[in-house]
Amino acid sequence: MVSAGSGAPQEPSGVGDAQEIERHKRLAARAAAELVQDGMLVGLGTGSTVAYLLEALGERERELGEARFAATSPATEITARALGLEVRELDELGELDLAIDGADQVDPQGWLIKGGGAAHTREKIVAASARRFVVIVSAEKLVGALTPPVPLELIGFGVQSTLRRLEQSQLRAQPSARVGVGSAVASGSELVQRSPDGGLIADYLGPVGDPRELEARLSAVAGVIEHGLFEPEMVSLILSGGEDGVVSRAGAKPATP
Protein backbone atom coordinates (compact mmCIF):
# COMPACT_ATOMS: atom_id res chain seq x y z
CA MET A 1 0.00 0.00 0.00
CA VAL A 2 1.25 3.50 -0.87
CA SER A 3 0.03 6.42 1.23
CA ALA A 4 0.55 10.14 0.88
CA GLY A 5 2.60 11.84 3.56
CA SER A 6 4.29 15.05 4.55
CA GLY A 7 7.75 13.58 4.07
CA ALA A 8 8.83 14.50 7.61
CA PRO A 9 11.83 12.48 8.81
CA GLN A 10 10.80 9.25 10.48
CA GLU A 11 12.47 6.11 11.64
CA PRO A 12 11.30 2.54 11.26
CA SER A 13 10.75 0.58 14.44
CA GLY A 14 14.08 -0.85 15.49
CA VAL A 15 16.06 1.37 13.14
CA GLY A 16 19.16 -0.53 14.16
CA ASP A 17 17.57 -3.80 13.14
CA ALA A 18 19.09 -4.66 9.78
CA GLN A 19 16.29 -7.06 8.91
CA GLU A 20 13.65 -4.38 9.46
CA ILE A 21 15.56 -1.91 7.31
CA GLU A 22 15.83 -4.48 4.52
CA ARG A 23 12.09 -5.14 4.79
CA HIS A 24 11.41 -1.42 4.47
CA LYS A 25 13.67 -1.17 1.42
CA ARG A 26 11.77 -4.03 -0.18
CA LEU A 27 8.41 -2.34 0.49
CA ALA A 28 9.50 0.87 -1.25
CA ALA A 29 11.09 -1.01 -4.15
CA ARG A 30 8.03 -3.15 -4.78
CA ALA A 31 5.76 -0.10 -4.72
CA ALA A 32 7.96 1.52 -7.38
CA ALA A 33 8.00 -1.64 -9.48
CA GLU A 34 4.23 -1.33 -9.85
CA LEU A 35 4.76 1.95 -11.70
CA VAL A 36 6.55 0.12 -14.53
CA GLN A 37 4.26 -0.95 -17.37
CA ASP A 38 4.68 -2.90 -20.57
CA GLY A 39 6.29 -0.80 -23.31
CA MET A 40 7.93 1.71 -20.98
CA LEU A 41 11.52 2.91 -21.26
CA VAL A 42 12.93 2.75 -17.74
CA GLY A 43 16.18 3.78 -16.07
CA LEU A 44 17.45 1.49 -13.33
CA GLY A 45 19.60 2.82 -10.51
CA THR A 46 22.24 1.10 -8.43
CA GLY A 47 22.43 -0.15 -4.87
CA SER A 48 20.83 -2.38 -2.27
CA THR A 49 17.31 -0.93 -2.57
CA VAL A 50 17.42 -1.18 -6.35
CA ALA A 51 18.30 -4.86 -5.93
CA TYR A 52 14.80 -5.39 -4.52
CA LEU A 53 13.35 -3.38 -7.42
CA LEU A 54 15.07 -5.69 -9.90
CA GLU A 55 13.75 -8.70 -8.04
CA ALA A 56 10.19 -7.38 -8.28
CA LEU A 57 10.56 -6.51 -11.98
CA GLY A 58 12.00 -9.93 -12.69
CA GLU A 59 8.89 -11.53 -11.24
CA ARG A 60 6.87 -9.55 -13.81
CA GLU A 61 9.22 -10.24 -16.73
CA ARG A 62 6.51 -11.82 -18.93
CA GLU A 63 4.06 -9.02 -18.16
CA LEU A 64 6.71 -6.40 -19.05
CA GLY A 65 7.74 -8.06 -22.29
CA GLU A 66 8.03 -4.86 -24.34
CA ALA A 67 9.64 -2.73 -21.62
CA ARG A 68 13.25 -1.66 -22.19
CA PHE A 69 15.72 -0.70 -19.49
CA ALA A 70 18.88 1.41 -19.16
CA ALA A 71 21.22 0.45 -16.31
CA THR A 72 23.42 2.86 -14.33
CA SER A 73 26.10 0.29 -13.47
CA PRO A 74 27.52 -3.03 -14.64
CA ALA A 75 26.16 -4.70 -11.49
CA THR A 76 22.61 -3.53 -12.25
CA GLU A 77 22.93 -4.52 -15.90
CA ILE A 78 24.17 -8.02 -15.08
CA THR A 79 21.39 -8.63 -12.56
CA ALA A 80 18.67 -7.21 -14.81
CA ARG A 81 19.73 -9.35 -17.75
CA ALA A 82 19.87 -12.46 -15.55
CA LEU A 83 16.26 -11.77 -14.53
CA GLY A 84 15.14 -11.62 -18.15
CA LEU A 85 14.83 -7.84 -18.50
CA GLU A 86 15.91 -6.29 -21.79
CA VAL A 87 18.73 -3.83 -21.14
CA ARG A 88 19.82 -1.33 -23.79
CA GLU A 89 22.29 1.55 -23.92
CA LEU A 90 20.77 4.84 -22.78
CA ASP A 91 21.55 6.47 -26.13
CA GLU A 92 19.53 3.77 -27.88
CA LEU A 93 16.47 4.54 -25.78
CA GLY A 94 16.59 8.35 -25.72
CA GLU A 95 14.12 10.01 -23.37
CA LEU A 96 12.97 7.62 -20.65
CA ASP A 97 9.44 7.36 -19.31
CA LEU A 98 10.66 6.65 -15.82
CA ALA A 99 13.85 6.26 -13.76
CA ILE A 100 13.94 4.61 -10.34
CA ASP A 101 16.84 4.77 -7.89
CA GLY A 102 17.70 4.82 -4.21
CA ALA A 103 19.38 7.53 -2.15
CA ASP A 104 21.76 7.76 0.78
CA GLN A 105 19.91 10.73 2.32
CA VAL A 106 16.70 12.68 1.59
CA ASP A 107 16.06 15.99 3.35
CA PRO A 108 12.66 17.68 3.96
CA GLN A 109 13.04 19.90 0.87
CA GLY A 110 13.71 16.88 -1.34
CA TRP A 111 17.47 17.28 -1.75
CA LEU A 112 19.27 13.96 -2.15
CA ILE A 113 22.75 12.71 -1.46
CA LYS A 114 23.65 9.77 -3.69
CA GLY A 115 26.84 8.02 -4.66
CA GLY A 116 27.59 5.53 -1.93
CA GLY A 117 27.86 2.94 -4.69
CA ALA A 118 30.18 5.11 -6.85
CA ALA A 119 27.73 5.45 -9.74
CA HIS A 120 26.25 8.90 -9.05
CA THR A 121 27.38 10.43 -12.35
CA ARG A 122 25.58 7.79 -14.38
CA GLU A 123 22.64 7.94 -11.98
CA LYS A 124 22.33 11.69 -12.47
CA ILE A 125 22.48 11.35 -16.27
CA VAL A 126 19.75 8.70 -16.24
CA ALA A 127 17.57 10.68 -13.83
CA ALA A 128 17.91 13.78 -16.02
CA SER A 129 16.95 11.72 -19.08
CA ALA A 130 13.63 10.59 -17.56
CA ARG A 131 10.26 12.31 -17.62
CA ARG A 132 9.69 11.00 -14.07
CA PHE A 133 12.36 10.22 -11.48
CA VAL A 134 11.21 8.11 -8.53
CA VAL A 135 13.37 7.74 -5.43
CA ILE A 136 13.01 4.63 -3.23
CA VAL A 137 14.34 4.54 0.32
CA SER A 138 13.80 3.00 3.73
CA ALA A 139 12.53 5.51 6.26
CA GLU A 140 15.84 5.94 8.10
CA LYS A 141 17.22 7.64 4.97
CA LEU A 142 14.84 10.57 5.59
CA VAL A 143 16.90 13.14 7.50
CA GLY A 144 16.30 16.55 9.02
CA ALA A 145 19.34 18.01 7.21
CA LEU A 146 21.94 16.62 4.83
CA THR A 147 25.26 15.64 6.39
CA PRO A 148 28.61 14.60 4.89
CA PRO A 149 30.00 12.73 3.14
CA VAL A 150 28.98 14.02 -0.29
CA PRO A 151 30.37 11.67 -2.97
CA LEU A 152 32.47 13.10 -5.80
CA GLU A 153 33.79 11.72 -9.06
CA LEU A 154 37.11 13.27 -10.05
CA ILE A 155 39.41 13.21 -13.07
CA GLY A 156 42.63 11.37 -12.25
CA PHE A 157 44.89 14.03 -13.76
CA GLY A 158 46.01 16.46 -11.08
CA VAL A 159 43.76 14.86 -8.49
CA GLN A 160 45.77 16.09 -5.50
CA SER A 161 45.49 19.64 -6.82
CA THR A 162 41.73 19.15 -7.20
CA LEU A 163 41.45 17.88 -3.64
CA ARG A 164 43.31 20.92 -2.31
CA ARG A 165 40.90 23.26 -4.08
CA LEU A 166 37.90 21.31 -2.84
CA GLU A 167 39.14 21.37 0.78
CA GLN A 168 37.92 18.87 3.39
CA SER A 169 37.81 16.11 0.79
CA GLN A 170 39.61 12.82 0.39
CA LEU A 171 39.80 9.92 -2.01
CA ARG A 172 37.63 6.96 -1.07
CA ALA A 173 39.45 3.74 -0.30
CA GLN A 174 37.99 0.59 -1.79
CA PRO A 175 37.08 -1.66 1.15
CA SER A 176 38.63 -5.07 0.57
CA ALA A 177 35.38 -6.89 1.29
CA ARG A 178 33.09 -4.47 -0.51
CA VAL A 179 31.12 -5.62 -3.51
CA GLY A 180 30.87 -2.39 -5.49
CA VAL A 181 29.83 -1.29 -8.92
CA GLY A 182 33.18 0.20 -9.82
CA SER A 183 36.77 -0.96 -9.66
CA ALA A 184 39.79 0.21 -7.70
CA VAL A 185 43.08 1.85 -8.58
CA ALA A 186 46.30 2.01 -6.57
CA SER A 187 47.12 5.48 -5.23
CA GLY A 188 50.09 5.51 -2.90
CA SER A 189 49.60 2.67 -0.46
CA GLU A 190 45.84 2.23 -0.76
CA LEU A 191 43.25 1.28 -3.32
CA VAL A 192 40.97 4.09 -4.46
CA GLN A 193 37.51 3.32 -5.70
CA ARG A 194 36.68 4.12 -9.32
CA SER A 195 33.35 4.79 -10.97
CA PRO A 196 32.04 2.51 -13.74
CA ASP A 197 33.58 4.99 -16.22
CA GLY A 198 36.98 5.14 -14.57
CA GLY A 199 36.76 8.36 -12.56
CA LEU A 200 38.29 8.47 -9.10
CA ILE A 201 35.76 8.45 -6.26
CA ALA A 202 36.24 10.89 -3.39
CA ASP A 203 34.10 12.28 -0.58
CA TYR A 204 33.56 15.87 0.50
CA LEU A 205 33.64 15.78 4.32
CA GLY A 206 32.97 19.41 5.18
CA PRO A 207 29.64 20.88 6.32
CA VAL A 208 26.79 20.79 3.82
CA GLY A 209 24.92 23.90 4.99
CA ASP A 210 22.80 25.21 2.12
CA PRO A 211 22.80 22.34 -0.42
CA ARG A 212 22.32 24.71 -3.37
CA GLU A 213 25.35 26.78 -2.40
CA LEU A 214 27.48 23.68 -1.90
CA GLU A 215 26.26 22.25 -5.22
CA ALA A 216 27.44 25.39 -7.03
CA ARG A 217 30.78 25.42 -5.22
CA LEU A 218 31.58 21.76 -5.93
CA SER A 219 30.54 22.08 -9.58
CA ALA A 220 32.84 25.08 -10.04
CA VAL A 221 36.03 23.22 -9.06
CA ALA A 222 38.05 22.12 -12.09
CA GLY A 223 38.62 18.38 -12.02
CA VAL A 224 35.21 17.52 -10.55
CA ILE A 225 33.26 15.36 -12.97
CA GLU A 226 30.12 15.21 -10.83
CA HIS A 227 28.97 15.38 -7.21
CA GLY A 228 26.32 13.41 -5.37
CA LEU A 229 23.92 16.27 -4.58
CA PHE A 230 20.64 15.90 -6.49
CA GLU A 231 18.39 18.95 -6.46
CA PRO A 232 14.69 18.63 -5.59
CA GLU A 233 13.70 19.77 -9.08
CA MET A 234 15.03 16.46 -10.46
CA VAL A 235 12.71 14.35 -8.30
CA SER A 236 9.13 13.47 -9.20
CA LEU A 237 8.22 11.14 -6.34
CA ILE A 238 9.79 9.79 -3.14
CA LEU A 239 8.61 6.40 -1.86
CA SER A 240 9.80 5.57 1.66
CA GLY A 241 9.20 2.23 3.31
CA GLY A 242 8.67 2.12 7.06
CA GLU A 243 6.74 0.47 9.87
CA ASP A 244 3.44 1.83 8.53
CA GLY A 245 4.02 0.67 4.96
CA VAL A 246 5.02 2.94 2.08
CA VAL A 247 4.68 6.71 2.28
CA SER A 248 4.43 8.62 -1.02
CA ARG A 249 5.73 12.18 -1.17
CA ALA A 250 5.65 14.36 -4.28
CA GLY A 251 8.92 15.78 -5.53
CA ALA A 252 9.51 19.25 -6.95
CA LYS A 253 9.92 18.19 -10.59
CA PRO A 254 7.09 19.58 -12.72
CA ALA A 255 4.84 16.98 -14.26
CA THR A 256 5.31 16.45 -17.99
CA PRO A 257 2.57 15.28 -20.35
Q: In what order do the strands lie in the sheet with 112-113?
A: 105-106, 112-113, 229-230
The verdict on whether 123 is a catalytic residue reads yes
Q: Is 63 left (phi over 0), alpha (psi -120 to 50) or beta?
A: alpha
d(CA 188, CA 233): 40
d(CA 146, CA 158): 29
Q: Which of 20, 59, 66, 123 is catalytic?
A: 123
Within 8 A by CB and 6+ apart from 237, the residues are: 132, 133, 134, 135, 248, 249, 250, 251
Catalytic residues: 123
